Structure 1
């Protein structure tokens, strides 16, 4: 069988690579999407200096888990005030990049509800207009800078929407570990665990292949070794660089496989129990590892390259790793009853991401 790996993102990695924005946007009008705390950190001023007069709009009202209730006004203001820009630069974690992906997809009337209706239909569509996107993550975990997906939330109606179009692949990803030096411990852990989940989910996946495995295994080995060290030494530039590269590898892996059961579970845990995404998609990893083990000989061999031949030891290692980062690993730890946990698992396995899991009853094409 021939394996195929495709990722169209022009990816640049290195300390200080944010300075490349000057060359990448020459002669263009640019809008910046950035997280609210960036101004106090001096990051908005730095990017304004890099871009100069080409920067025509700054959007700073990015919230965690971007919700449609807040996105509506931001989207319509963007198309009203910066509809003639060529490029959107997203600087921040997954929420900033996901927000930017939603903004760049233009509708006929510049109305957010038009976009929401298209997403709600579940059918593929070609937008009437779209902007070029440059993504610069400030956390080591999102993977959104090298994937086309954005998750949009509707907390009022307990829904989520997945946006993914050809134009929501970033044109360029700038992975600059220097931007990650001020990330606090809790966010460093949560985003690092998101990356670990991306990589593991890429392995226990119907869409896995030897190329995605290469990225995934390298990412997992790096994260298991590096994240606990970084948690205890947040100002270490070498460790920040290693985690940034590991997260990039994880992003490359799942850019071709999509995520699977742990992420499918996480959506309910975020909507109903308010768990940060990185915790919500990682606390079940030992459980999901057990559900994956023994389902597919090729997948087992890949997992055993990392964890060894015994399932009990593999689960214990993964559980101990999470506990060392103060992450609890049982549903009950998060106020979820046994019956509710079973219901969440049942629903998750039948979700779109759950069907990517090798333990699902039917493989996705």
Structure 2
């Protein structure tokens, strides 16, 4: 089989790489999208110092899981007040980067509802205009800095939209582990588990190949070893750098495969049960590992390079890893009974991401 790998993002990894913002935006006007705590952490001031008069607009109220209610106001204000800027810089976690991806996609009339209508069709489209995007993640987990996808939530309607266009690939990703030093333990764990899920989902995936496997296996091995140590040593420059690189590798892996069943399950768990994304997409990993095992000989060989040849032992190892991070691994732990879990699993397997799962042709059951 011929393997193909495509990722157009100019990716720069290393301590202090945020300093390159200046040279990357010469003779451009820039809008910054970031999270509410960024100013208190000195990030906004630091970026202002790097960019000077080039920084013409700042959005610093991005909330977790960008919802259409807030995005509508932010989007339309952005295009009214900063529509002439050249580049958008997203500094933050997945929510900041996803928000920036939504903002850069311009509609004919500058209306957010125009964008929603295009997304609702589920078909690709060419936007009326689009901004250049630079992404600098402050958490090790999202992978959004090296992928084209953004998730937009509609909690009132209990649904989500997936935005992915050629122009929503960031032009540049700056992965600077220094930006992650102040992330608290709970967010460090949750985002790290998101990265683990990305890497595993890239393996039990119909779109997997030898090149995506290389990134995924390396990411899994690093996260399994590093994340438990990091939660007890948050100030370690070495561990922060290792997790940042592992999350980047996981992002590279699923940038070519998309996610699969665990993420499909997670959307309902977040929308209907309020489970944070990193936990929602990782608590079922032992279950999904069992559903993947035996579906495809090549995929089994790849999984066994990480976990060995004994499925029960592999699941136990993964479950013990999650428990060591205080993550519960049963649906019942999140208020979902057996009947609800089976219904959720059935629906998730039929979703777009669920169809990427190598076992999607087999009716999955919750043990």
TM normalised by structure 1 equals: 0.99
- Secondary structure of 1:151's partner? strand
Encode CA deviations 1:262-283: one digit per residue, 9 max, x unaligned.
0000000000000000000000
Aligned position for 2:83:
83
Partners of 1:122 and 1:190 in 2: CA distance: 29
Partners of 1:250 and 1:275 in 2: CA distance: 22
Aligned position for 2:306:
306
Say if 2:284 is the partner of 1:288. no
Aligned position for 1:324:
324
- Secondary structure of 1:162's partner? strand
Aligned position for 2:50:
50
Encode CA deviations 1:30-79: one digit per residue, 9 max, x unaligned.
00000010001011000000010000000012010000011000000000
Partners of 2:275 and 2:94 in 1: CA distance: 15
Aligned position for 1:173:
173
Shift of 1:86: 0.4
Summarize the alignment of residues 16-35 of structure 1 with structure 2, pairs less than 5 Å apart: 16-35=16-35
Say if 2:36 is the partner of 1:41. no
Aligned position for 2:13:
13
- Secondary structure of 1:134's partner? strand
Say if 2:360 is the partner of 1:360. yes
Shift of 1:151: 0.2
- Secondary structure of 1:156's partner? coil
Shift of 1:361: 1.1
Partners of 1:17 and 1:123 in 2: CA distance: 36
Shift of 1:191: 0.1
Say if 2:213 is the partner of 1:213. yes
Encode CA deviations 1:279-318: one digit per residue, 9 max, x unaligned.
0000000000000000000000000000000000000000
Aligned position for 2:222:
222
Shift of 1:329: 0.1
Summarize the alignment of residues 1-365 of structure 1 with structure 2, pairs less than 5 Å apart: 1-361=1-361
- Count of residues paired in the alignment: 362
Partners of 1:197 and 1:329 in 2: CA distance: 14
- Secondary structure of 1:157's partner? coil
Partners of 2:301 and 2:199 in 1: CA distance: 15
Partners of 1:226 and 1:251 in 2: CA distance: 17
Structure 1: runs of 5 or more not aligned: none
Partners of 2:121 and 2:297 in 1: CA distance: 38
Shift of 1:122: 1.1
Shift of 1:26: 0.4
- Secondary structure of 2:156's partner? helix
Shift of 1:20: 0.2
Partners of 1:89 and 1:70 in 2: CA distance: 19
Shift of 1:168: 0.1
> Which consecutive segments of 4 or more residues in structure 1 shift more than 3 A?
none
Partners of 1:2 and 1:294 in 2: CA distance: 23
- Secondary structure of 1:49's partner? helix
Encode CA deviations 1:129-176: one digit per residue, 9 max, x unaligned.
000000000000000000000000000000100000000000000000
- Secondary structure of 2:194's partner? helix
Shift of 1:123: 1.4
Partners of 1:40 and 1:22 in 2: CA distance: 22
- Secondary structure of 1:61's partner? coil
Shift of 1:347: 0.1
TM normalised by structure 2 equals: 0.98
Partners of 1:2 and 1:265 in 2: CA distance: 31
Aligned position for 2:365:
none
